[in-house]
């Protein structure tokens, strides 16, 4: 297990503030990767919990076989799981994208179908088209939600390509 993701996961599990009661401060900013002309920072926008994410092989030439590590405690069942991505550059919306990650008849990942309260840790590839990230700074909003439209994880990220 990647040490950063592992440390974050343990911290998420043990942090008393993750109970969320009366929480007003923002979660800390984490670095998902840095190198190869690319820096990716993210912050949980779920008031109830933080999560761990790291991207292997950081590069502004994003490979189609990109691997990530992701750890979270599920607040909801995930029989179905969807990811919404919103990409913004210099204040302008560039792209909105919705992607099914778990579907009942097409579970793409081993963690599909896990229940509320379970901890998931995924380390492996995520299929993507593979792109060269143009130079610039981007804001990305990511939201994972289940079949009842309940938030499973939410993050806002800043991507800097130099
Ligand atoms: C997340 O959004 C908050 C509020 O807009 C902002 O202050 C913060 O810099 C953002 N974090 C990242 C990593 O983009
Ligand atoms: C991904 O593909 C590239 C280019 O084909 C290769 O160099 C790299 O080792 C691959 N990475 C993984 C994790 O398979
Ligand atoms: C993305 O969605 C937001 C919020 O619904 C909307 O304001 C924006 O125009 C959309 N952007 C694109 C490129 O469709």
pLDDT digits (tens, 9 = 90+) for 148-159: 999 999 999 999
The answer as to whether 17 is a domain residue is no
pTM for the whole structure: 0.83
**Residue for token pair 């996961």:** 9
Measure 127 CA to ligand 2 centroid, in angstroms: 12
Question: Contacts from 17-25 at CB under 8 Å and sequence distance 24+?
Answer: 18/48, 18/49, 18/50, 20/47, 20/48, 20/49, 23/47, 23/48
Query: pLDDT grade, residue 16 (50/70/90)?
Result: very low
The answer as to whether 11 is a domain residue is no
Q: Say which ligand is closest to the CA of 126.
A: 2
pLDDT in tens, 58-113: 999 999 989 999 999 999 999 999 999 999 999 999 999 999 999 988 878 999 99
pLDDT at residue number 115? 96
Q: Residue 41: CB within 6 Å of ligand 1?
A: yes
Average pLDDT over residues 104-133: 90
The answer as to whether 16 is a domain residue is no
Q: Say which ligand is closest to the CA of 95.
A: 3
**Rg for the chain (alpha carbons), in Å?**
15
pLDDT at residue number 20? 47
Q: For the stretch 49-68, what's the b/e string if a residue is b when 16 or more beta carbons lie within 10 angstroms of its beta carbon?
A: bbbbbbbeebbbebeeebeb
The answer as to whether 5 is a domain residue is no
Measure 132 CA to ligand 3 centroid, in angstroms: 23
Range of the domain at 129: 26-161
Measure 157 CA to ligand 1 centroid, in angstroms: 7
Average pLDDT over residues 21-45: 88
Q: Would the pLDDT of 124 be above 60?
A: yes
Q: Would the pLDDT of 34 be above 80?
A: yes
Q: Say which ligand is closest to the CA of 140.
A: 1
The answer as to whether 118 is a domain residue is yes
pLDDT at residue number 11? 54
Average pLDDT over residues 129-135: 90
Q: Residue 157: CB within 6 Å of ligand 1?
A: yes
The answer as to whether 9 is a domain residue is no
Q: Which residues line ligand 3 (CB under 6 A)?
A: 86, 93-96
The answer as to whether 2 is a domain residue is no
The answer as to whether 6 is a domain residue is no
Q: Considering the chain, what is the average pLDDT of its residues? A: 88
Q: How many domains does the chain have?
A: 1
Q: Would the pLDDT of 128 be above 90?
A: no
pLDDT at residue number 5? 54
Q: What is the CATH number of the domain that holds 50?
A: 2.60.40.770
Q: How far is CA 101 from CA 14, 64, 108, in A?
A: 28, 17, 6
Measure 135 CA to ligand 1 centroid, in angstroms: 20
């Amino acid at each position: 297990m990647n040490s950063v993701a592992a440390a974050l996961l343990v911290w998420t599990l043990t942090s008393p503030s993750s109970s969320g009661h009366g929480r007003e401060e923002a979660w800390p900013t984490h670095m998902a990767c840095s190198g190869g002309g690319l820096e990716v920072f993210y912050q949980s926008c779920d008031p109830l919990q933080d999560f761990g994410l790291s991207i292997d092989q950081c590069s502004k030439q994003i490979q189609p076989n990109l691997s990530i590590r992701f750890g979270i405690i599920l607040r909801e069942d995930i029989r179905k799981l969807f990811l919404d991505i919103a990409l913004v550059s210099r204040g302008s919306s560039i792209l909105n994208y919705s992607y099914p990650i778990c579907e009942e008849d097409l579970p793409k990942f081993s963690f599909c179908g896990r229940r509320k309260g379970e901890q998931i840790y995924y380390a492996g590839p995520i299929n993507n088209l593979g792109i060269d990230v143009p130079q610039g700074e981007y804001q990305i909003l990511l939201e994972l939600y289940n079949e009842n439209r309940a938030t499973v994880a939410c993050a806002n990220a800043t991507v800097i390509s130099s």
